[in-house]
Chain A
């Protein structure tokens, strides 16, 4: 649908450019009218070729640029500034805490957060996948929304990330760029001509070039408008969907509805004034441009009142204007009250209140996440927010229980880690004594934003140290595998080009060997009594024609390679494999902690993040 619309738009633009060229030539040689039929296939091929080339190269260039910058590049394009992960500003801290909880609840690494210096209340998510995803929030949103409302808005954005809407938005942004580029070229020509006019220089082809430029601008304008209308129609549907998922996610329709009511009663509404934002309006939570035609064809978002009505059927449509200073004071008070009890960096009071109000059973994911975060000692949570200490934290997670190996590891770090980090390491290690092992993965997830703010040389040093620590005991353990998978997968996009999701393999049978390996690994390491039978059953269900593997010879290195193959598989294939993996783990009625962590790493590698569970009893996660 979108592709057809795009093709039609490009065709229309080519025709427009052709007419423009014809008019320009006619203008420059009016006497030659007789010799110039309107249809000239050679000219058409010329014009069409060059125009298509420009549009195509513009789009390719933009997609290339988006891949290099990932979500962070987009946030900066909108004028966003990264919130330091260890910020001590109350409102920013609260924002980061909410993001952290939602990420842990959805089983994603915590994304970096950008702040846009805008008065309007708005937010966006950008990136190709959960690895390079970033969240952006306006200053107005953190100043004027209370915790529940902020959670509602961020829940909406998280659902865009989880539903892979953001990847589609990135592609859309890239393809549309080619068309607008044509208009930009027109403007550039006009401006440079204006300059020459003043200097009195009269070149031969000027009037023709002038007309060409003007028509280019018009054509490109109409082209992007047409594309915009289609894009808006699709976007509006997805906004409703994201609203619904946000409610499902936070189990609190009042939060999101409350935020929309605030936006509705706010003079600045959800406007974003930065020039980079308007063409990417479809990426935002609310309409970027303030328009009286709220539900017009070109609006990328449904009307605020309509969105509220779907969340709150008792809504009577009245949106009383808001007293801004009073509202800001109230929000600031709530934030400082919430944070003062748990000190900076803690999951704050408001969570406690929310969690208390809604029992865990009707609020399972968020309650689980808040509990998990609360189980992590405050000191360690603070460490995970600091770029320097987060590295020490990861090193400490990898220190071996055996004294000899640990001594070797410490010796390595003394030589190869920055001395400041090494010094902190012992401090961090001391704090981690007695830490419950199921908290290791959430801690790792929480370290992500801090680790993404390393410089490139620091990052390379960090990764090579992590690999050395893993190699130290000559044994590749399950936890080490999971840690390395998560780290490499989610950190790399911040320091290199982002891989585009590709659907090279659309059928499980194209990846038989890898699928067999993954399933066999889980079946043989999960303590199942008849791993061969289990494998046969799963292979049958997956429609694979393969023989079960023996436990011998299975290793993590090969598992990593097998999983890598699925990066190029279609989402359907990945979902199917993940289902098989879940079945494999659950089949014998008991889930070992190592099994669960491995399953989570596999889910992560397959692009379907899995929420973290808090072990209920030791029966689920034996010590």
Chain B
């Protein structure tokens, strides 16, 4: 029985009884409340774990990142192309003016970080996508008719 009392007299005089005033359920069998406490802690841990697994996935974020990446890559490629064109033009002019080859090398190295950023722009959205998302996406492409 959850009740520690069998008569109203015992209940009213709980302060002088074996539970020393405690009138709650299972006050006479503390082990049950102890088990309930352990289960409660388990539920709380479940909740903490659940907060990491119940995030709402937004496919639109993924798409926007792809678009953003494409935009960055196109922009960077155009910058690199412009830089290359300028370099080529300068090289020809400096060759004509008998310039040293080391200058040309240094200028081509300057474009390397920009190219790296462009590559990262392509790769990062794919890294953020989970395996299941990648599979779902490839199935969608495979199976569904074009819209």
Physical interaction between A and B: no
Q: Which residues of B contact A (CB under 8 A)?
A: none
